[in-house]
Structures are given as C-alpha cells and as structure tokens.
A and B are shown apart, each in its own frame.
Chain A
Amino acid sequence: MSTKQITARCQLQQTMSSRSSPLAPVLVLLMMLSGCVTYNQRMSSFEQNLSTGNLQPALTDLDKQTNGDKKSAILFDLNRSLILRLQREFDLSNQSLERAKSALQPLLAISLSEQTLASAINDQQRTYLPHGFEQIYIHVFKILNYVALNDLPAARVEVLQMDVTLNRLNEKNPIPAQNAFPRYLSGVVFEMAGEWDQALIAYRKALISFQESQQSPPKFLILDMLRLMDHLGLHAERARLQKRYAVTVWTTQKIYQQQGQLLLLIAEGLAPIREEAAIQAVDPKDGELYRISIPRHQNRLNLTRTPRFQVSQTQYSSDLLANMNSIAEQTLTHQIPAITARAVARVAVKHRVVKESTQEAPILGLIANVATVASERADTRTWASLPSGWWAVKIPLEAGEYQVRPLFASQTQTVPIRISPGDFRLMVYHRLGTNTIFGL
C-alpha cells in the first residue's frame, strides 16, 4: 500500500469521526480498529535495521511499536529477544522469551470477545498467539541462550518444556519438519549433560521427524545414534540403522569421550513473512463493494549455497536441519480454512451494516461500505526475525587449539577455540543479510 493510500484512508477516518449519525460510532470504531496499515508495513523499518545488522535502531523501532499495539505484545517480546541475543545479552533475551512464554499460556484458550471482533472487523483484533513453530522456537532460543550462559541445568529444563510443547502441538495438525531440529538440539543438550540414554531417545525422535518430513537426516545424527546404540547395548537396533543408511564406520563411545566435539549451527536468513492477499468484488445490483483479505506466504532472503566452515586447515559442509520457509508455509496451509471461514463471516456481518446504513441514508451506506472494506485486513503477523533455515556441522576434534572461520560471507572473522578431551562446544552463527554475520 502506498503512502498516499494510507494517508487517504486515515483522512477518511478523521472525516468519519465528525459525523453525528447513530451509525457513525460503529463506522468510526470499524475504521479505528482496522488500523491504517498492516503489521508488516509498520514493521518495515525494524526489519530493514535488523537485516542490515543495526541492532540498536531495530530495538528502538520495536519499543516504539510496542506501546501502540498491546495485542501484539508477545510478538514484540519475541523480536526483542532475538535482538538482545545478537547483542549477547543472553539473560535479557531469556527474560523476553519467558515473558512471551508466560503470556502465551492463557491465549491457548479461545477468546469469545476476540473471536467476535475478528468475525466483525478483522483478524488483527485477536491477541497474537504465536504459530506452532514459533512456540517451539521460544524454547530453542532459550536453550541456546542458556548454553551460551553455560547454564546446562536450565537448558535441560527448557528441553523438557519443549518436549511438552511439541507433544501438545503434535496432537492436532502435526508438522513433522518442525520437530526435527528441536529434537536434535534436545539430544545435544542431553549429550552435553552426559545423559546418553536420553540423548539417544531425542535423536531417535529427530530421525523419525526427518523421515516423516521426507528430509535427509544429517550424517552426524546417524553416526551419533550408532555410537549411542552400541554404547547402550542396543545392537539389533544399531544393525538395522547401519543397514538402512549404509554406514560402516563410526566412533566408539570411548574414543568419543576422549575427543572434543564442535557443533557449528547456522541460523540463516530471515523467516518468511505473510502478505495480504485481497479479493474485491462489486455487486452489480447496488454497487456495494465486497472485500476478503487473507494472508499469503512470502519467502525472504535465502542462502543459495550450503554454508561451509574452515576449522584450521580443513573445510566442512553443513547439513540442513530445518527449512523454516517450508514449515511456515505448512503452518499457513493448516490455518487457511479457519481464516477463510472468518473472512466469509465478516462479509456477511459487514454487508448487514452497509444495508442498514443505506436504508438510513444512501450517503451513510456509502461511507459504511468504505469503512467495512477499509477494515478488512489480513492478519500478517509473524515472528519475522526468526531465521529461514537452520544448518549444522558436527566436527570431532582432538584436544588442541583451532581456528574457526565461516566461509559463507566475505567479511568474517576467524575465531580461535581450545578443545579439551570430552568438551562439547556449540557455536552459533546468525546470518541476517548477505554480509551480516553474528557469531555467538
């Protein structure tokens, strides 16, 4: 929508406020509640700052928006948590995530008042309930923050909470692809804590999710599972897995514990957003304008090549763990029937308002028609600062000092690391724009 159109709509809203007809308050309310712009339009400055790595201005943008939109408060906390994480404020990031998590629980019940408003005005009248995969990534980022804070017990608590969330979400409309990476990360945390049996269970669930979503599991997952199955005496299961993935060599648990492990995670790009797709039609009999707005999926920046790393003299390719574009698209596909049903219900309600206004005075009917059409906006809210994909490479290393350098951007720094026997080192890289890299 152009600035001109937005201004015109806002001017119309101001004109409506001065009317004294009994219907005017209804129409004004419709206009006020409709908002002059969609969520994405309001957030464009934030997203621009985020993708170019201007974190402080992005945070300021968020603070400005938060005050004016209480229904999206969770979303602002989610976005804020990621900015704070990139600023290495892991504790503050977790506080934002925890706030979002606490606010989310009551929203799992359906609000009668908000449903009524959504059926009369638009879906933006509902308090934002994060989509299923977004609820999972609240835990994922809390886990990564706790690992960065070296607080493994707290990360473990979050893993267990994530399991509860995953189980709840899988009860209806399961999306296997959204489970794979979180399950794998759970296994990593259990391995860090030396809980081999729990790690294997998490890895098993990750493998099942990869298989169900018809995505190739990363080779390091298969190798870890073979090692743990051997270690735990599950030889028959190990033989089946070995045969299925044609693996002949893997590390024994004894050697594994003498080595160090380096897990490099890449949170790549920015998650897809939702755009408004509107259909408008004019009734040839009376000229009444009808409009239905529903959200549609829109991908953003993606990597064209597999992220690679150089660790001292050796180069490594990463594997894709989660394709957030696909997960977001599947989520919207699940939601579309309900969104469409509400949009159709709104057409009926708005038609009634226009009809009664026209009976009162044709000019009022016209104004009512403009107001009802203007208020028809799609809910395009999403956690837009999430990455579009998660990649990983796991490298076993002998004890010693190494230089880690990401090879997927031109301006990246080499990070020196020291690996001791038994270490499990997790390094996370966030790539927001072509050359906007944060190594955490």
Chain B
Amino acid sequence: MALGKFRFSIVLISLLSILFLSGCGTVVNRIESEEVVDLSGAWNDTDSRLVSEEMITDALNRPWITDFRSRTGKMPVVIVGDVRNLSHEHINIKTFVNDMERALINSGRVEFVASSTERSQIREERADQDLHARADTRKAMGQEIGADYMLKGTINTIIDQASKKQVRYYQVDLTMISLADNRKVWVGQKKIKKFIKRPTLRY
C-alpha cells in the first residue's frame, strides 16, 4: 500500500509539525500577594515576607523597647544602617526592611528617622526652602532628631548542590545597636531552607 510506504515519513512529518506548532500565547492571572509561588527556587517575595513577619514579631515582643521607654520616658528612635547582602543572589533587601520599618512605626512604639542616603535629599530641600520658601513655612536647619539605635544586618546563604539537586540555606540576621554605647539590644534571625530539584528532561 502507498500509505504503508510512507509510514515512516508520515510519522516524521507529524512529529516535526507538532514540535513546530506548539507555540502558546502569554497568559496572565492575578493572584493574592500572599500566595506562595516558587518558580526558580531563588529568593522571592514569599521569602521576603516570611523574613519581615518573623523580624517584626520578634522585634516588637522583646524587652528593648520597654526598657528604653522606662529608662528615658520616650519612644526609641531607630535609623536603618547597612544591611549587607552576602548571599549568592542579587536580593532586594529594601523590601523586608521597608516592611519592618512600616510595621514598627505603625505599632506606635518605635520612631524611625531617615537613613543617611534619604536625608541628603531632605537636607537639600531644607537648604532650598531657606532660599525660596515663605518664612512662616520654612523648616529650620539643625532640628533633626538623633537616632538612639541603628538597625544593621546581613543576609548569608549556603548552597550545596549535586547533579540536578540543590539545597539553598538563607540566614537573615538583623541587629539593633545602641548608638550611645554600642550595646546590641536586639538580635533577630530568620532561617529559610529550600530543596530544589531541577528537571533532567524537558519538552
């Protein structure tokens, strides 16, 4: 039969056609911001959220705030210092630091002042007001509040891999250091461990 003769060719052409006609369009689905979606195994929004939740709960439940208040009668003022990324990934540290800052400010128990990078712009604006703003709205120089504590920290990773398997271990350490006497009044830590298995085959 003619068809029989072409069995091999038909199979081949069908296979090739399937391979080449398999394109698909972009699909976008909106999901909850707290839904866990792990795509590559790299640091993602869920990790950032887990770290900020852990750090916020810990920071608000430790005695450093009440100790300060009972000693001075004021709320502690915190400045965000250097949070170093010593990990294997280009991690945006600002996401969980900002989460933490927001939660601590909104708790009404801690005040934050602008960091060194933020305040240069504010100082420029104040200098500009000196020249251009109406006198009754002008903000004077030298009225800034000095911070009592500096928040510093690091993100470290350990990666172990063999063949297509990988274990990623993240450790985030944050420390609140007294600017008056270098005492460490709070140390927060969050560990995240992931096991990633990459596929050996793909379509």
Contact = CB atoms under 8 A, between A and B. Distances in A.
Interface stretch (A37-45, A104-112, A199-207): A104-112
Contacts of B5: 356, 359-360
B97 to A, nearest CB: 15
A168 B203 CA distance: 23
Interface in B147-180: 157, 159, 161-164
B86 interface: yes
Interface stretch (A23-31, A253-261, A400-408): A23-31
Contacts of A23: 6, 9
A116 interface: yes
A110 B84 contact: no
Contact of B19 (A109, A116, A359): A116
7 contacts: A108-B164, A116-B19, A156-B86, A157-B85, A157-B88, A164-B159, A168-B161
Contacts of B84: 153
Interface residues on A, range: 20 to 34
Contacts of A339: none
A298 to B, nearest CB: 31
B16 A157 contact: no
A54 interface: no
Given A105-B40, A161-B89, A171-B162, 16 more contacts: A106-B202, A108-B164, A110-B202, A111-B202, A111-B203, A112-B201, A117-B16, A120-B12, A157-B88, A163-B88, A171-B163, A352-B8, A353-B12, A356-B6, A356-B8, A359-B5
A345 interface: no
Contacts of A356: 5-6, 8-9
B90 A154 contact: yes
Contacts of A156: 86
B interface secondary structure, majority:
mixed
B25 interface: no
A292 to B, nearest CB: 20
Interface residues of B, number: 31
Interface string B71-90: 00000000000001111111
Given A153-B85, A168-B161, A356-B8, A25 B13 contact: yes
Most buried by B among A113, A120, A360: A113
B19 A113 contact: yes
Contacts of B85: 153, 157
A68 B201 CA distance: 26
Interface in A349-372: 349, 352-353, 356-357, 359-360
A interface secondary structure, majority:
helix
B94 to A, nearest CB: 13
Interface in B184-201: 198-201
B12 A161 contact: no
Interface string B23-52: 000000000000000001000000000000
Contact of A157 (B12, B19, B90, B200): B90
A159 to B, nearest CB: 9
B161 A167 contact: yes
A68 to B, nearest CB: 15
Nearest to B88: A160
Nearest to B15: A116
A287 interface: no
A284 interface: no
Given A109-B201, A156-B86, A22 B9 contact: yes
A108 B198 contact: yes
Nearest to A168: B161
Interface of B: 5-6, 8-10, 12-13, 15-16, 19, 22, 40, 84-90, 157, 159, 161-164, 198-203
Nearest to A164: B159
A25 B17 CA distance: 10
Contacts of A154: 90
A194 to B, nearest CB: 12
Interface in A372-428: none
B203 to A, nearest CB: 6
Nearest to A107: B202
Contacts of B201: 109-112
Nearest to A125: B19
A164 B157 CA distance: 12
Contacts of A160: 87-88, 157, 159
Contacts of B10: 22
Closest 7 CB pairs of A and B: A160-B88, A109-B202, A109-B199, A113-B19, A26-B13, A111-B202, A26-B9
A195 B12 CA distance: 58
A94 to B, nearest CB: 10
Given A164-B88, A168-B161, A171-B163, A360 B16 contact: no
B10 to A, nearest CB: 8
A354 to B, nearest CB: 11
Interface in A108-130: 108-113, 116-117, 120
A109 B88 CA distance: 22
Contact of B198 (A25, A109, A120, A163): A109
B161 A164 contact: yes
Contacts of A117: 16, 19
A113 B203 contact: yes
Contacts of B8: 352-353, 356
Given A161-B88, A171-B163, A353 B202 contact: no
A109 B12 contact: no
Given A109-B198, A153-B84, A22 B203 contact: no
A168 B164 CA distance: 9
A62 to B, nearest CB: 24
